[in-house]
Homo-oligomer: A and B are copies of this chain.
Amino acid sequence: MNPDLAWPVWCGERQRRVEDLLVRVLPAADLTPTRLSEAMRYATLDGGKRMRPLLAYAAGELTGAAPEIVDAAAAAVELVHAYSLIHDDLPCMDDDTLRRGKPTCHVAFGEATALLAGDALQALAFAALAGGELPDPAGACTMLAEAAGIRGMAGGQAIDLESVGAKLALAELETMHRMKTGALIRASVRLGAACGRPLTEGGARALDAYAQAVGLAFQVIDDILDVEGSTASLGKTAGKDTAQGKPTFPSCIGLAAAKAHAEELRLAARASIAPFGSAARRLAELADWIVLRTL
Protein backbone atom coordinates (compact mmCIF):
# COMPACT_ATOMS: atom_id res chain seq x y z
CA MET A 1 0.00 0.00 0.00
CA ASN A 2 2.75 2.40 -1.00
CA PRO A 3 0.96 5.76 -1.28
CA ASP A 4 3.59 7.10 -3.67
CA LEU A 5 3.12 4.55 -6.44
CA ALA A 6 2.15 6.15 -9.73
CA TRP A 7 -1.38 5.24 -10.84
CA PRO A 8 -0.40 2.96 -13.74
CA VAL A 9 1.87 0.97 -11.43
CA TRP A 10 -0.76 0.60 -8.70
CA CYS A 11 -3.40 -0.29 -11.28
CA GLY A 12 -1.18 -2.85 -13.03
CA GLU A 13 -0.17 -4.47 -9.73
CA ARG A 14 -3.78 -4.84 -8.65
CA GLN A 15 -4.88 -6.16 -12.04
CA ARG A 16 -2.19 -8.85 -11.87
CA ARG A 17 -3.26 -9.64 -8.31
CA VAL A 18 -6.87 -10.17 -9.45
CA GLU A 19 -5.74 -12.40 -12.29
CA ASP A 20 -3.71 -14.63 -9.92
CA LEU A 21 -6.57 -14.67 -7.45
CA LEU A 22 -9.16 -15.72 -10.05
CA VAL A 23 -6.87 -18.51 -11.27
CA ARG A 24 -6.77 -19.83 -7.69
CA VAL A 25 -10.50 -19.44 -7.04
CA LEU A 26 -11.74 -20.90 -10.33
CA PRO A 27 -11.95 -24.67 -10.76
CA ALA A 28 -8.84 -26.25 -12.31
CA ALA A 29 -9.19 -26.76 -16.05
CA ASP A 30 -9.08 -30.54 -15.56
CA LEU A 31 -11.81 -30.68 -12.91
CA THR A 32 -14.69 -32.89 -14.03
CA PRO A 33 -16.90 -31.92 -15.81
CA THR A 34 -14.03 -30.35 -17.75
CA ARG A 35 -16.19 -28.67 -20.36
CA LEU A 36 -17.89 -26.66 -17.62
CA SER A 37 -14.59 -25.81 -15.86
CA GLU A 38 -13.15 -24.66 -19.17
CA ALA A 39 -16.17 -22.50 -19.92
CA MET A 40 -15.99 -20.87 -16.47
CA ARG A 41 -12.27 -20.12 -16.94
CA TYR A 42 -12.71 -18.99 -20.54
CA ALA A 43 -15.32 -16.42 -19.57
CA THR A 44 -13.43 -15.10 -16.56
CA LEU A 45 -9.68 -15.15 -17.25
CA ASP A 46 -7.46 -13.17 -19.64
CA GLY A 47 -9.67 -10.25 -20.29
CA GLY A 48 -11.52 -7.45 -18.67
CA LYS A 49 -10.23 -4.33 -17.01
CA ARG A 50 -11.12 -5.68 -13.54
CA MET A 51 -12.74 -2.36 -12.70
CA ARG A 52 -14.91 -3.79 -9.92
CA PRO A 53 -12.03 -5.48 -8.06
CA LEU A 54 -9.97 -2.28 -8.45
CA LEU A 55 -12.80 -0.33 -6.82
CA ALA A 56 -12.85 -2.85 -3.96
CA TYR A 57 -9.09 -2.55 -3.38
CA ALA A 58 -9.22 1.25 -3.60
CA ALA A 59 -12.09 1.39 -1.09
CA GLY A 60 -10.18 -1.03 1.11
CA GLU A 61 -7.21 1.35 1.11
CA LEU A 62 -9.55 4.08 2.29
CA THR A 63 -10.44 2.08 5.41
CA GLY A 64 -6.98 0.66 5.96
CA ALA A 65 -7.67 -2.91 4.82
CA ALA A 66 -4.77 -5.02 3.58
CA PRO A 67 -5.20 -6.36 0.04
CA GLU A 68 -5.26 -9.95 1.37
CA ILE A 69 -8.42 -9.12 3.30
CA VAL A 70 -10.03 -7.48 0.25
CA ASP A 71 -9.20 -10.42 -2.05
CA ALA A 72 -12.42 -12.34 -1.35
CA ALA A 73 -14.59 -9.32 -2.14
CA ALA A 74 -12.54 -8.53 -5.25
CA ALA A 75 -12.89 -12.08 -6.56
CA ALA A 76 -16.60 -12.24 -5.74
CA VAL A 77 -17.61 -9.08 -7.59
CA GLU A 78 -15.59 -10.06 -10.66
CA LEU A 79 -17.15 -13.55 -10.68
CA VAL A 80 -20.64 -12.06 -10.54
CA HIS A 81 -19.69 -9.69 -13.35
CA ALA A 82 -18.32 -12.56 -15.47
CA TYR A 83 -21.47 -14.63 -14.92
CA SER A 84 -23.67 -11.69 -15.90
CA LEU A 85 -21.78 -11.18 -19.16
CA ILE A 86 -22.24 -14.84 -20.14
CA HIS A 87 -25.97 -14.72 -19.52
CA ASP A 88 -26.35 -11.27 -21.17
CA ASP A 89 -24.72 -12.54 -24.34
CA LEU A 90 -27.01 -15.58 -24.69
CA PRO A 91 -29.27 -15.71 -27.75
CA CYS A 92 -32.42 -15.12 -25.67
CA MET A 93 -30.84 -11.94 -24.24
CA ASP A 94 -28.53 -9.69 -26.28
CA ASP A 95 -27.50 -12.51 -28.64
CA ASP A 96 -23.92 -11.35 -28.98
CA THR A 97 -21.05 -13.25 -30.54
CA LEU A 98 -18.02 -11.20 -29.48
CA ARG A 99 -16.80 -10.32 -25.98
CA ARG A 100 -13.36 -9.15 -24.86
CA GLY A 101 -12.18 -9.80 -28.40
CA LYS A 102 -13.12 -13.50 -28.29
CA PRO A 103 -16.21 -15.48 -29.30
CA THR A 104 -18.78 -15.29 -26.50
CA CYS A 105 -19.04 -18.25 -24.13
CA HIS A 106 -22.07 -19.81 -25.80
CA VAL A 107 -20.46 -19.50 -29.23
CA ALA A 108 -17.37 -21.29 -27.92
CA PHE A 109 -19.07 -23.88 -25.66
CA GLY A 110 -22.74 -24.07 -26.64
CA GLU A 111 -25.74 -22.50 -24.96
CA ALA A 112 -26.37 -25.11 -22.29
CA THR A 113 -22.78 -25.10 -21.03
CA ALA A 114 -22.71 -21.30 -21.09
CA LEU A 115 -25.91 -21.15 -19.05
CA LEU A 116 -24.46 -23.54 -16.46
CA ALA A 117 -21.10 -21.74 -16.43
CA GLY A 118 -22.92 -18.53 -15.47
CA ASP A 119 -24.92 -20.34 -12.83
CA ALA A 120 -21.82 -21.98 -11.37
CA LEU A 121 -19.89 -18.68 -11.38
CA GLN A 122 -22.63 -17.03 -9.35
CA ALA A 123 -22.43 -19.83 -6.77
CA LEU A 124 -18.62 -19.56 -6.80
CA ALA A 125 -18.83 -15.84 -6.08
CA PHE A 126 -20.73 -16.53 -2.87
CA ALA A 127 -18.35 -19.36 -1.94
CA ALA A 128 -15.39 -17.00 -2.37
CA LEU A 129 -17.01 -14.26 -0.32
CA ALA A 130 -18.37 -16.45 2.47
CA GLY A 131 -15.01 -18.18 2.83
CA GLY A 132 -13.07 -14.91 2.88
CA GLU A 133 -11.33 -13.22 5.79
CA LEU A 134 -13.32 -10.01 5.79
CA PRO A 135 -14.79 -8.98 9.15
CA ASP A 136 -18.45 -9.86 8.44
CA PRO A 137 -18.66 -12.43 5.64
CA ALA A 138 -22.38 -13.05 6.15
CA GLY A 139 -23.13 -9.33 5.93
CA ALA A 140 -20.99 -9.22 2.80
CA CYS A 141 -23.01 -12.07 1.25
CA THR A 142 -26.23 -10.18 1.95
CA MET A 143 -24.77 -7.09 0.26
CA LEU A 144 -23.64 -9.04 -2.82
CA ALA A 145 -26.93 -10.93 -3.08
CA GLU A 146 -28.93 -7.71 -3.03
CA ALA A 147 -26.69 -6.15 -5.67
CA ALA A 148 -27.07 -9.20 -7.91
CA GLY A 149 -30.79 -9.87 -7.42
CA ILE A 150 -34.09 -8.34 -8.49
CA ARG A 151 -33.39 -5.06 -6.68
CA GLY A 152 -30.03 -4.82 -8.46
CA MET A 153 -28.45 -6.36 -11.53
CA ALA A 154 -31.07 -8.94 -12.50
CA GLY A 155 -33.86 -6.39 -12.02
CA GLY A 156 -31.99 -3.86 -14.13
CA GLN A 157 -31.55 -6.44 -16.88
CA ALA A 158 -35.28 -7.10 -16.86
CA ILE A 159 -36.03 -3.38 -17.17
CA ASP A 160 -33.48 -3.22 -19.99
CA LEU A 161 -35.36 -5.99 -21.82
CA GLU A 162 -38.68 -4.20 -21.40
CA SER A 163 -37.18 -0.93 -22.65
CA VAL A 164 -36.13 -2.11 -26.10
CA GLY A 165 -37.71 0.22 -28.62
CA ALA A 166 -39.02 2.53 -25.90
CA LYS A 167 -38.17 6.20 -25.47
CA LEU A 168 -37.11 6.64 -21.84
CA ALA A 169 -36.83 9.88 -19.91
CA LEU A 170 -33.39 10.56 -18.45
CA ALA A 171 -34.62 9.66 -14.95
CA GLU A 172 -35.94 6.27 -16.13
CA LEU A 173 -32.73 5.54 -17.98
CA GLU A 174 -30.74 6.36 -14.86
CA THR A 175 -32.92 4.11 -12.70
CA MET A 176 -32.35 1.24 -15.10
CA HIS A 177 -28.59 1.71 -15.06
CA ARG A 178 -28.44 2.26 -11.32
CA MET A 179 -29.77 -1.29 -11.05
CA LYS A 180 -28.23 -2.99 -14.08
CA THR A 181 -24.60 -1.94 -13.67
CA GLY A 182 -24.64 0.55 -10.80
CA ALA A 183 -25.66 -1.88 -8.05
CA LEU A 184 -22.66 -4.18 -8.51
CA ILE A 185 -20.25 -1.26 -8.82
CA ARG A 186 -21.67 0.21 -5.62
CA ALA A 187 -21.37 -3.17 -3.90
CA SER A 188 -17.74 -3.41 -5.03
CA VAL A 189 -16.96 -0.16 -3.25
CA ARG A 190 -19.00 -1.02 -0.15
CA LEU A 191 -17.54 -4.52 0.14
CA GLY A 192 -14.00 -3.22 -0.21
CA ALA A 193 -14.58 -0.58 2.44
CA ALA A 194 -16.18 -3.15 4.75
CA CYS A 195 -12.83 -4.97 4.87
CA GLY A 196 -11.24 -2.26 7.02
CA ARG A 197 -12.08 0.11 9.86
CA PRO A 198 -15.77 1.08 10.11
CA LEU A 199 -16.60 4.41 8.49
CA THR A 200 -18.61 7.09 10.24
CA GLU A 201 -22.20 7.47 9.03
CA GLY A 202 -21.21 10.58 7.10
CA GLY A 203 -18.15 8.84 5.68
CA ALA A 204 -20.25 5.90 4.49
CA ARG A 205 -22.68 8.31 2.84
CA ALA A 206 -19.87 10.17 1.08
CA LEU A 207 -18.36 6.93 -0.18
CA ASP A 208 -21.74 5.75 -1.40
CA ALA A 209 -22.28 9.02 -3.28
CA TYR A 210 -18.89 8.42 -4.94
CA ALA A 211 -19.86 4.86 -5.87
CA GLN A 212 -23.17 5.90 -7.35
CA ALA A 213 -21.60 8.68 -9.41
CA VAL A 214 -18.84 6.40 -10.70
CA GLY A 215 -21.33 3.65 -11.51
CA LEU A 216 -23.48 5.96 -13.57
CA ALA A 217 -20.45 7.60 -15.22
CA PHE A 218 -19.22 4.16 -16.26
CA GLN A 219 -22.51 3.45 -18.00
CA VAL A 220 -22.64 6.83 -19.74
CA ILE A 221 -19.14 6.17 -21.12
CA ASP A 222 -20.17 2.66 -22.13
CA ASP A 223 -23.08 4.10 -24.10
CA ILE A 224 -20.84 6.72 -25.74
CA LEU A 225 -18.28 4.07 -26.71
CA ASP A 226 -21.02 1.97 -28.28
CA VAL A 227 -21.56 4.90 -30.64
CA GLU A 228 -17.99 6.12 -31.12
CA GLY A 229 -15.84 3.01 -30.64
CA SER A 230 -14.94 0.36 -33.15
CA THR A 231 -15.60 -3.34 -32.66
CA ALA A 232 -11.82 -3.92 -32.69
CA SER A 233 -11.06 -1.36 -29.98
CA LEU A 234 -14.01 -2.40 -27.79
CA GLY A 235 -13.52 -6.15 -28.14
CA LYS A 236 -17.30 -6.40 -28.40
CA THR A 237 -19.77 -5.56 -31.13
CA ALA A 238 -19.94 -1.77 -31.57
CA GLY A 239 -23.20 0.00 -32.32
CA LYS A 240 -25.34 -2.77 -30.95
CA ASP A 241 -27.40 -0.62 -28.57
CA THR A 242 -28.60 1.42 -31.52
CA ALA A 243 -29.09 -1.65 -33.70
CA GLN A 244 -31.18 -3.29 -30.96
CA GLY A 245 -33.23 -0.14 -30.33
CA LYS A 246 -32.00 0.21 -26.74
CA PRO A 247 -32.34 3.55 -25.02
CA THR A 248 -28.91 5.02 -24.20
CA PHE A 249 -27.59 8.29 -22.83
CA PRO A 250 -26.64 9.56 -26.31
CA SER A 251 -30.04 8.56 -27.73
CA CYS A 252 -31.81 10.12 -24.76
CA ILE A 253 -29.95 13.43 -24.35
CA GLY A 254 -27.57 13.59 -27.34
CA LEU A 255 -23.88 12.75 -27.63
CA ALA A 256 -22.48 16.11 -26.51
CA ALA A 257 -24.75 16.25 -23.47
CA ALA A 258 -23.84 12.65 -22.60
CA LYS A 259 -20.15 13.56 -22.63
CA ALA A 260 -20.81 16.59 -20.45
CA HIS A 261 -22.87 14.42 -18.09
CA ALA A 262 -20.02 11.90 -17.71
CA GLU A 263 -17.64 14.74 -16.87
CA GLU A 264 -20.08 16.14 -14.29
CA LEU A 265 -20.36 12.72 -12.68
CA ARG A 266 -16.57 12.36 -12.56
CA LEU A 267 -16.25 15.68 -10.78
CA ALA A 268 -19.13 14.82 -8.44
CA ALA A 269 -17.48 11.50 -7.58
CA ARG A 270 -14.19 13.24 -6.79
CA ALA A 271 -15.93 15.93 -4.76
CA SER A 272 -17.73 13.31 -2.64
CA ILE A 273 -14.48 11.76 -1.46
CA ALA A 274 -12.42 14.94 -1.22
CA PRO A 275 -12.96 15.11 2.58
CA PHE A 276 -11.08 11.82 2.99
CA GLY A 277 -7.91 13.47 1.67
CA SER A 278 -5.03 11.31 0.50
CA ALA A 279 -6.61 8.09 1.83
CA ALA A 280 -9.03 8.34 -1.11
CA ARG A 281 -6.27 8.83 -3.68
CA ARG A 282 -6.87 5.56 -5.55
CA LEU A 283 -10.62 6.11 -5.61
CA ALA A 284 -10.10 9.53 -7.17
CA GLU A 285 -7.69 8.08 -9.73
CA LEU A 286 -10.19 5.35 -10.54
CA ALA A 287 -12.91 7.91 -11.25
CA ASP A 288 -10.57 9.58 -13.74
CA TRP A 289 -9.56 6.24 -15.24
CA ILE A 290 -13.16 5.17 -15.75
CA VAL A 291 -14.31 8.41 -17.34
CA LEU A 292 -11.25 9.66 -19.17
CA ARG A 293 -9.61 6.46 -20.43
CA THR A 294 -11.69 6.27 -23.50
CA LEU A 295 -13.21 9.58 -24.49
Contact = CB atoms under 8 A, between A and B. Distances in A.
Contacts of A158: 33, 35-36, 113, 116
A138 B139 CA distance: 8
Contacts of A150: 27, 31, 33, 36-37, 40, 120, 123-124
| Copies of this chain in its oligomeric complex | 2
B145 A113 contact: no
A93 interface: yes
Given A123-B122, A150-B120, A130 B111 contact: no
A38 to B, nearest CB: 11
Interface on chain A toward B: helix, strand, loop, or mixed SS?
A: helix
A87 interface: yes
Contacts of A127: 141-142, 145-146, 149
Interface in A242-263: none
Interface of A: 27, 31-33, 35-37, 40, 83, 87, 90, 92-93, 110-113, 115-116, 118-120, 122-124, 126-127, 129-131, 137-139, 141-142, 144-146, 148-151, 154-155, 157-159, 161-162
